[in-house]
């Protein structure tokens, strides 16, 4: 069985004009099995979000280091941007702390968006799946609302549903409860864990960046990013 995610030898350095290079992390490797949940802890500025962006193909590691990122057996680094975007749309779902919903679109339209990027799903099928996800997320009565008409918790529910539209093999979540109060945050976490199975019967692998050990404890494994290294346990 292929790993849901395989990352090896990731290095990332920021080079700023007139300043010494900043090494974010050096030689990071990570393997995640299908359906496994991995939490990544670390202090602010340790590079957690940067790591997540590289795992999802939104950023790239330093060149010339032999780095490798594979999602469901597909090479995310060894292809052009167009193919990489298509791979992201089909295989990876993203949930961000700041929701990143388009304010001019309705809830239903926001959730349906990934199908447009994927291109392999018809409009009718995408809309039906979006409706099922939103109903399972408790938002069946909010389909025609705009994001500004929703609470923070409701917006994050929309973001989770959107991330799952294309039934990705990998879900990447960057502090998904960070902008929410404790009770609402736990409800969102329940949704992240339970919604995929409720709709499709199969849960994606999950890599979740969090500052909360309580949140991390609900995952199968926990890793800490500290001083440029990722350590488990």
The tokens for 191 are 């949704």
Question: Percent of the chain beyond pLDDT 70?
Answer: 97
111: pLDDT strictly greater than 90: yes
CA neighbours closer than 13 Å in the CB half-sphere of residue 167: 12
- What is the helix (H) or strand (E) element at residue 65, kind and residue range? none
Q: From CA 61, how far away is CA 25, in angstroms rounded?
A: 10
Q: What is the pLDDT, as a whole number, of residue 196?
A: 82
- Phi/psi of residue 228, nearest 5 degrees: 80, 0
User: What's the whole-number average pLDDT of the chain?
Assistant: 91
Let me know: does 76 contact 10? Beta carbons within 8 Å.
no
Mean pLDDT over 31-44 rounds to: 94
Q: Which CATH architecture has domain 5-232?
A: 3-Layer(aba) Sandwich (3.40)
**HEC-encoded secondary structure of 63-127:** CCCCCEEEECCEECCCCCHHHHHHHHHHHEEEEECCCCCCCCCCHHHHHHHHHHHHCCCCHHHHH
The structure's pTM equals 0.92
**pLDDT (tens digit per residue) in 150-178:** 999 999 999 999 999 988 999 999 999 88
State whether residue 54 is helix, strand or coil.
Answer: helix
Q: What is the pLDDT, as a whole number, of residue 27?
A: 92
The tokens for 146 are 């705009």
Q: How confident is the model at residue 12 (pLDDT cuts 50, 70, 90)?
A: very high
119: pLDDT strictly greater than 80: no
Higher pLDDT, 115 or 158: 158
**54-58, 79-83, 138-142: the lowest-pLDDT one:** 79-83
Kind of pairing, strands 37-41 and 68-71?
unpaired
Q: What is the pLDDT, as a whole number, of residue 51?
A: 95
User: Pick from 68, 50, 89: which is nearest to 3 by CA?
Assistant: 68
**pLDDT (tens digit per residue) in 203-222:** 899 999 998 888 899 999 99
Length of the chain: 233
Question: Percent of the chain beyond pLDDT 90?
Answer: 61
Q: What is the pLDDT, as a whole number, of residue 197?
A: 78
Q: What is the pLDDT, as a whole number, of residue 143?
A: 97
Q: What is the pLDDT, as a whole number, of residue 182?
A: 84
Q: How confident is the model at residue 121 (pLDDT cuts 50, 70, 90)?
A: low
Q: From CA 231, how far away is CA 222, in angstroms rounded?
A: 9
């Amino acid at each position: 069985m292929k790993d849901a995610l395989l990352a090896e030898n990731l290095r990332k350095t920021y080079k700023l004009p007139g300043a010494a290079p900043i090494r974010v992390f050096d030689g990071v490797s990570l393997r995640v099995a299908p359906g496994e949940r991995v939490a990544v802890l670390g202090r602010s500025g340790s590079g957690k979000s940067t790591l997540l962006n590289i795992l999802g193909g939104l950023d790239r590691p330093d060149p010339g280091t032999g780095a490798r990122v594979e999602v469901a057996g597909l090479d995310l680094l060894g292809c052009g941007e167009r193919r990489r975007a298509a791979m992201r749309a089909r295989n990876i779902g993203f949930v961000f702390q700041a929701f990143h919903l388009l304010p001019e679109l309705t809830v239903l339209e926001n959730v349906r968006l990934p199908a447009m990027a994927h291109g392999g799903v018809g409009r009718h099928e995408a809309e039906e799946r979006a409706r099922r996800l939103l109903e399972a997320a408790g938002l069946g009565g909010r389909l025609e609302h705009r994001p500004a008409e929703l609470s923070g918790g409701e917006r994050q529910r929309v973001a989770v549903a959107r991330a799952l539209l294309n039934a990705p093999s990998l879900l990447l979540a960057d502090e998904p409860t960070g902008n929410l109060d404790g009770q609402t945050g736990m409800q969102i976490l329940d949704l992240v864990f339970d919604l995929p199975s409720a709709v499709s019967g199969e849960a994606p692998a999950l890599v979740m960046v969090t500052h909360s050990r309580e949140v991390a404890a609900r995952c199968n494994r926990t890793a800490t990013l500290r001083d440029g290294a990722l350590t488990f346990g």
